[in-house]
């Protein structure tokens, strides 16, 4: 029985094992590895697909978002049905990935990443992969990974351009060495503001995956370079990065992103006409109980993953971890008001 399984395994991954950079020992190491992917949009789709097909042992997929039609261009894991059903990306991704590799061990976590849960999310990972679309989350990942001595691989795209680098605590510069602080989010280019080409998403995601395999198989030490690509110009170049002597994360060990901002809620504009509210709620929200409370006020649809609640011209999507996405306004105060009126704090 065991033998039969091994033979199947050998056949399935034979082409990867033939590649000298991986080999049979490398494949064995991949199969025993634990990788956490934070964010499963464009880059995350490419990363998750590659990790699962390559036979990485355990993969945790963390995402706060749900599938929408405009995701289908460059988020290759999702399809029209996922968008119609507004499925959480982590759940939809897991389902699809299991069809690619039924022996994969996949954990889907539908949650917002914040200072209260990031250390727990990355704990025990051999490598953490960046599939996020914002620097706030990347700073959290950076500080938690540097503190926990876990390598992580930064990647970002917009338009036809993208960049990535491997961050190994104590060895390479960390994200805060490269970008000590970040300009206001409204001045940063994302896929929502500059558009994006699927080809750059696939390029950067694939570079991240190759870096990940090098770390997991222990075959090569990271270069400490940042790789920059522009698929429209057809260029790809490396830039050597420097560690900063006064870095608050990897030198002073202050980890500013992990400092509790107690009592505060995080309200972020995410996409057009949408505000997200996160209250750090250790106990979470019991969806069925809340749905009963909401039903008299407006149309309420409840599923194991979320509640969709429609009131006036607003649509609220409520997740069990206490996170709420308010559609129909860009005003954080309106969103907060709806939150306290219908969900409470």
Partner 1 sequence: MKVHLEIRLLPMLNKVIGKEELEFDFTGTTVKELIEALIQKYGQKAKEALTTRQGEFDTMIQIALNRKVWITADKHDAPLNDGDIVTFMLLIGGG
Instruction: List residues binding partner 1 (CB under 8 A).
Output: 39, 41-44, 130-135, 155-159, 161-163, 178-185, 187-192, 194, 196, 226, 228, 235, 237, 239
The C-alpha angle 319, 107, 65, rounded to 5 degrees, equals: 35
Which of 34, 22, 33, 27 is CA-nearest to residue 10? 27
Shortest CB 343 distance to Zn ion, Å: 38
Choosing from 61, 97, 177, 215, the residue that interacts with Zn ion (CB under 5 A) is 177
190 interacts with, out of Zn ion, partner 1, none, CB within 5 to 8 A per kind: partner 1
Residue 145 phi, psi dihedral angles, 5° rounding: -75, -40
Tokens representing residue 224 in the block: 């400490």
Shortest CB 289 distance to partner 1, Å: 34
Choosing from 22, 40, 174, 201, the residue that interacts with Zn ion (CB under 5 A) is 174
Give catalytic residues, as residue numbers: 191
Please give the Cα distance from 112 to 316 (Å, whole number).
16
DSSP code of 196? Answer: B
Tokens representing residue 168 in the block: 């190994």
If one asks whether residue 257 binds Zn ion (CB under 5 A), the answer comes out as: no
177 interacts with, out of Zn ion, partner 1, none, CB within 5 to 8 A per kind: Zn ion
If one asks whether residue 248 binds Zn ion (CB under 5 A), the answer comes out as: no
180 interacts with, out of Zn ion, partner 1, none, CB within 5 to 8 A per kind: partner 1
Helix, strand, or coil (residue 307): strand
Shortest CB 305 distance to partner 1, Å: 22
If one asks whether residue 144 binds Zn ion (CB under 5 A), the answer comes out as: no
Please give the Cα distance from 107 to 129 (Å, whole number).
15
If one asks whether residue 138 binds Zn ion (CB under 5 A), the answer comes out as: no
Please give the Cα distance from 302 to 335 (Å, whole number).
20
Q: Which is nearer to partner 1, 215 or 226 (CB)?
A: 226
Q: Which is nearer to Zn ion, 178 or 197 (CB)?
A: 178
Contact partners, residue 266, CB within 8 Å, separation at least 6: 112, 114, 276, 277, 278
Q: Which is nearer to partner 1, 185 or 218 (CB)?
A: 185
Shortest CB 125 distance to Zn ion, Å: 19
If one asks whether residue 212 binds Zn ion (CB under 5 A), the answer comes out as: no
Sign of CA dihedral 145, 37, 126, 213: negative
Shortest CB 188 distance to Zn ion, Å: 20
250 interacts with, out of partner 1, Zn ion, none, CB within 5 to 8 A per kind: Zn ion
Helix, strand, or coil (residue 174): coil
Please give the Cα distance from 126 to 206 (Å, whole number).
18
Residue 101 phi, psi dihedral angles, 5° rounding: -150, 95
247 interacts with, out of Zn ion, partner 1, none, CB within 5 to 8 A per kind: Zn ion
């Amino acid at each position: 029985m065991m033998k039969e399984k091994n033979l199947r395994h050998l056949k399935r991954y034979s082409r990867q094992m033939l590649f000298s950079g991986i080999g049979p020992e490398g494949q064995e190491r991949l199969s025993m590895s634990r990788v956490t992917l934070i964010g499963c949009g464009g880059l995350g789709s490419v990363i998750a697909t590659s990790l699962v097909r390559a036979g990485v042992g355990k993969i945790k997929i963390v995402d706060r978002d749900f599938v929408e039609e405009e995701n289908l261009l460059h988020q290759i894991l999702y399809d029209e049905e996922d968008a119609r059903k507004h499925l959480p990306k982590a759940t939809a991704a897991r389902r699809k990935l299991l069809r690619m590799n039924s022996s994969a061990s996949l954990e889907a976590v539908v949650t917002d990443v914040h200072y209260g849960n990031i250390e727990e999310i990355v704990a025990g990972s051999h490598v953490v992969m960046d599939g996020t679309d914002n620097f706030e989350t990347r700073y959290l990942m950076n500080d938690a990974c540097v503190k926990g001595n876990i390598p992580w691989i930064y990647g970002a795209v917009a338009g036809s351009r993208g960049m990535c680098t491997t961050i190994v605590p104590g060895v390479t510069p960390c994200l805060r060495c490269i970008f000590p602080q970040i300009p206001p989010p409204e001045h940063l280019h994302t896929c929502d503001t500059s558009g994006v080409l699927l080809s750059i998403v696939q390029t950067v995601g694939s570079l991240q995956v190759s870096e990940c395999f090098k770390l997991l198989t222990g075959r090569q030490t990271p270069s400490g370079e940042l790789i920059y690509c522009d698929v429209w110009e057809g260029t790809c170049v490396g830039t050597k990065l420097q560690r900063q002597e006064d870095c608050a994360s990897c030198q002073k060990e202050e980890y500013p992103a992990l400092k509790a901002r107690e009592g505060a809620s995080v309200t972020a504009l995410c996409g057009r006409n949408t505000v997200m509210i996160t209250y750090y709620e250790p106990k979470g929200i019991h969806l069925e109980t809340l749905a009963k409370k909401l039903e008299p006020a407006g149309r309420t649809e409840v599923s194991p993953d979320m509640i969709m609640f429609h009131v006036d011209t607003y649509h609220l999507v409520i997740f069990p971890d206490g996170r709420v996405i308010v559609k129909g306004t860009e005003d954080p105060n309106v969103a907060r008001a709806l939150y306290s009126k219908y969900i409470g704090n």
